[in-house]
Amino acid sequence: MSEPFCTRSQNQGGTRSNGYKSPLEKILADLRRKYVAAAGPQVGGLGSQGAGSTDAFLVEYSLLPWNTATGSYPAGLGAEIGGSTNNLGDEDYAELRKTAQMARSSSMIFRGRRMSTAYGASSTDWLGGGGSSGNLSPRSSMKRSQPSPVNGSEKQVPPQNNAIASSFLDQRVAFMECATRYRSGLASTSHADNLIACAPHLRHISPASTDMQGNGGSSRNSFTAFLLKQTRSGEVTAEMGGSRVAAISDYKSCLARKHANRRLALELATFVRVLANEMSLEEFTIVEGDLFSSILTFMHSNDDNKRLAGVAALDALIGATSADEEKKITKFVKNLSDSLFKASNVDYEFLSEVTNALGKMALGAANVDYVESVVKRVPEWLKRDRSDRR
Amino acid sequence: MLQFHVLLISLVADQMLMIFARLAAVLTVKELAQNAPAAFYSKTNQSEIGQEGGTSEFIAQIFPVLTDPQPIVRVCAADALAECLKVIVDPSRKHHSTTRTLCKVYSFIMKVFNDGDKGRRGQRNVEKAEVEAKQHAALLVIGDLLDLPLDFMLPRFDEVCRATLGLRNHSKALIRLEVVRLIVSSFVDASFSCVTNFDIPIC
């Protein structure tokens, strides 16, 4: 009886697959199989008004066509333009990609980290404004007013559909600028994102990564490649080519994993919301308990893939409905903090995902105690000497 | 010999754990300052009695991490510092002057640049790596300071500009990359273009 839904999800996997099979797929498929009635009409309805705006944006983002040639999404991490990527159909994306490539080939002025008078514009705006799709964040509207070479493309549009076309075009301009700048490693306001866009291999912490030569950086980023080639000491030799290719393919698979996990986690969260409305409270408590325990098993496993999938699922479920909200929050905070400071063999990706989730938890109303406890402990963590970490 | 190996391995493992603890700490600080600025500000300010103390003491904790040997830890610390500074200088809750805190940060940068000239003549590799890590950190922090919506950097802009461009031929790619990033993103900014005439040859 579950065939229609299985085939549906397989089809979806076929169209949006980026070559990585997330461990969450099994959990989601099991849930759908068990609760077919709830799974029915909502399977395709992701990112609708019911979901929180964060989720809606992320789902939209995960719908971006995966470019297998370059191994990336066309817009990189389009976080800066916030809600402006909503409401774009497939054909729009195709057009966007075409124009973005055009813009990339022409020489562009990069405008990266810049003065921003709006605090946290990129994060708070679209988190707070539930479902306000199409609102440009102050950051991008500021950018829009800047004269930019891309603005020339506005002339191609016939003047009759001014209102809609121009708003869409503004979004498109912002989108393209973001795409180009992200690819050059200049886009993000976060130093970490910028570094990883240019030298992805540095996220693996090893004695070798302290070398600041930056070999193994992304060669498709011609700007960076040009800079990196310019070594004075001539340390870049032929054998570095191999490691560079390896680093890039590693980075590609890491991105693919991240987005597959995120997409499935959001589907899972949407499905949990649906289940919460479909069932009685007692039933839902049991289902939720099972789900949480399987996710927490993932989080505490030693397998990297499972661990990242678990964190992604936890992250997505923060906003979902729960039978016992208080208990859920306590449980999540405890598990996230534990995995942050007690887990062995962690890496940067895992830590940044976990802290992202913790940051999301801190958005809640009952965050003051948690923030206080962390703030008191941080100096200890920073000063901590070797070997007294558990 | 075996004992020596075991000792070495455990030493390396401990060092890795320390790096991860630092990384986790700065990432957490960043997220908290970003997502719960009000709670963060009040909690970091609780310890202080005088006019400025809590938060800037808190910021002082981040400085040692800024010069970590691992680039990824340095950039995360710089992100955390940027978020903390944003929380502090937020005009909506500004009760006292923030110049002193910012001056501390600025003196960190200038100290690195002044020491850097000495370090270049030094021969030992370890010292050289430390100086380079500090220079990288200083460039990252300049980006943070330029991003603040204040006129704090306006009188210091020429000095910073010269110091940054002085590093443009550095032998390490990451430092050159950071210089270029500063030039294209922060220096060539509308608010500064009026005060700067680029009389320093870039190439």
ipTM: 0.78
Distance between CA atoms of residues B94 and B119, nearest Å = 39
DSSP B1-39: -HHHHHHHHHHHHHHHHHHHHHHHHHHHHHHHHHH-HHH
CA angle B85–B86–B90, rounded 5-degree value: 115
> Which two three-digit tokens encode residue A180?
């180009």
Q: Cβ B43–A372 below 8 Å, yes or no?
A: yes
Query: Is residue B2 one of the residues assigned to a domain?
Result: no
Residue of B nearest to A383 (CA): B61
The pTM (predicted TM-score) of the whole model is 0.66
**Lowest-confidence range among A152-166, A256-270, B73-87?**
A152-166
Query: Is residue B6 one of the residues assigned to a domain?
Result: no
- How many distinct structural domains can be found in chain B? 1
Q: Cβ A191–B76 below 8 Å, yes or no?
A: yes
Query: Is residue B158 one of the residues assigned to a domain?
Result: yes
Q: Cβ B186–A210 below 8 Å, yes or no?
A: no
CA A264 to centroid of chain Cα atoms: 12
Question: Which H or E element spans position A283?
Answer: helix A281-299
**Lowest-confidence range among A88-102, A126-140, A154-168, A222-236?**
A126-140
Query: Is residue B3 one of the residues assigned to a domain?
Result: no
**Lowest-confidence range among A237-251, A369-383, B19-33, B169-183?**
A237-251
Mutate to test the interface with A, among B84, B147, B174, B188 (most CBs of A within 10 A): B174
Position A340 scores a pLDDT of: 80
Point out the residue among A212, A378, A383 whose CB comes nearest to the CB of B173.
A212
Query: Is residue B144 one of the residues assigned to a domain?
Result: yes
More confident residue, B56 or A57: B56
pLDDT tops 80 at residue B17: no
A contacts of B138 (beta carbons < 8 Å): none
Return the exposure string of B35-70: e unless at least 16 CB atoms fall within 10 Å of the residue's CB, then b.
bbbebbbbbbbeeeeeebebbbebbebbbebbbbbb
Query: Is residue B35 one of the residues assigned to a domain?
Result: yes
pLDDT tops 80 at residue B172: yes
B contacts of A185 (beta carbons < 8 Å): 177, 181
Residues 6+ apart with CB under 8 A from A247: A200, A201, A216, A217, A218
Which structural domain, as residue segments, surrounds residue B138? 11-193
Using a CB–CB cutoff of 8 Å, tell me whether B132 touches chain A. Answer: yes
What is the band of B94 on the pLDDT scale with cuts at 50, 70, 90? Answer: low
pLDDT tops 60 at residue A160: no
A276-310 confidence digits (pLDDT tens): 888 888 888 998 898 999 998 888 888 888 888 99
Position A5 scores a pLDDT of: 38
Position A85 scores a pLDDT of: 41
Query: Is residue B199 one of the residues assigned to a domain?
Result: no
B contacts of A228 (beta carbons < 8 Å): 173, 177
Q: Cβ A351–B31 below 8 Å, yes or no?
A: no
What is the band of B118 on the pLDDT scale with cuts at 50, 70, 90? Answer: low
Say whether A67 sits in a helix, a strand or coil: strand
Using a CB–CB cutoff of 8 Å, tell me whether B65 touches chain A. Answer: yes
Query: Is residue B1 one of the residues assigned to a domain?
Result: no
Using a CB–CB cutoff of 8 Å, tell me whether A4 touches chain B. Answer: no
Distance between CA atoms of residues A100 and A285, nearest Å = 47
pLDDT tops 50 at residue A255: yes
Distance between CA atoms of residues A146 and A107, nearest Å = 16
* Residue matched to tokens 């031929």: B169
Distance between CA atoms of residues A113 and A101, nearest Å = 22
* Residue matched to tokens 């090893």: A206
Q: Which of B85, B125, B129, B121 is nearest to B103 (CA)?
A: B85
Indicate if the alpha-carbon torsion angle B49, B51, B54, B60 is positive or negative.
negative
Mean pLDDT over the full length of chain A: 63
* Residue matched to tokens 């992202």: A356
Using a CB–CB cutoff of 8 Å, tell me whether A213 touches chain B. Answer: yes
More confident residue, B81 or A159: B81
Using a CB–CB cutoff of 8 Å, tell me whether A128 touches chain B. Answer: no
Position B46 scores a pLDDT of: 57
